[in-house]
Amino acid sequence: MSIEVGSKLQGKVTGITNFGAFVELPGGSTGLVHISEVADNYVKDINDHLKVGDQVEVKVINVEKDGKIGLSIKKAVDRPERPERPARPERPDRPDRPDRPYSQRPRGGRPNDNRNVRPENFESKMAKFLKDSEDRLSTLKRATESKRGGRGARRG
């Protein structure tokens, strides 16, 4: 029997490890149900859910080139599909909301902040940064030299 991805099969649990359970499939092949594929909720100890010899329904989720078969118990369970949510109604009680969709709103700051300001070019930004940096360094040097008694400091 060929094992195809997506097919549901009956199998028998042949071994349990701390990371999952080995399940023997029809035809003698064995696949692994990872601990994360045992149940919809968090599984701390797989022994709380499965025992060696249990008959389980599994779904084949992958077959690797080297012959390893990935199985899932939780995906084999048929669940009714959740009904689609109705669209959220518009809220006319919010006057501060722009008429534009979120993706077309201006980014950063308040909406009218940067309307008439021309963007700076790289050279002006760099000059501004260097001036600011030199001002900060000179202030820092003045403060530390006077505390240490460095160059221009007077001693009494």
DSSP 104-130: GSPPSS-TTTTSSPPPPPHHHHHHHHH
Residue 112 CB neighbours (<10 A): 8
User: In tens digits, what is the pLDDT along the chain, a chain of 156 residues?
Assistant: 578 888 899 999 999 999 999 999 988 899 999 999 999 889 899 999 999 999 999 999 999 989 899 999 998 887 766 777 777 777 666 555 556 565 665 666 555 555 566 777 888 999 999 999 999 999 888 888 777 665 655 554
pLDDT digits (tens, 9 = 90+) for 14-37: 999 999 999 999 888 999 999 999
- pLDDT at 77 (0 to 100): 83
Cα–Cα distance measured from residue 71 to residue 7, given in angstroms and rounded to the nearest whole number: 10
Q: Taking the model in full, what pTM does it have?
A: 0.50
Enter the tokens of residue 32.
């692994």
- pLDDT at 103 (0 to 100): 61
- Beta pairing, strands 8-17 & 20-24: antiparallel
Domain ranges of the chain: 8-72, 120-149
**Cα 77 to the center of its chain, rounded Å:** 26
Phi-psi region of 41 (alpha: psi -120 to 50; beta: other; left: phi over 0): beta
Residue 13 CB neighbours (<10 A): 20
Could you say which of 3.40.50.970, 2.40.50.140, 3.40.50.720, 3.40.50.300 is the CATH number of the domain covering 8-72?
A: 2.40.50.140
- pLDDT at 146 (0 to 100): 72
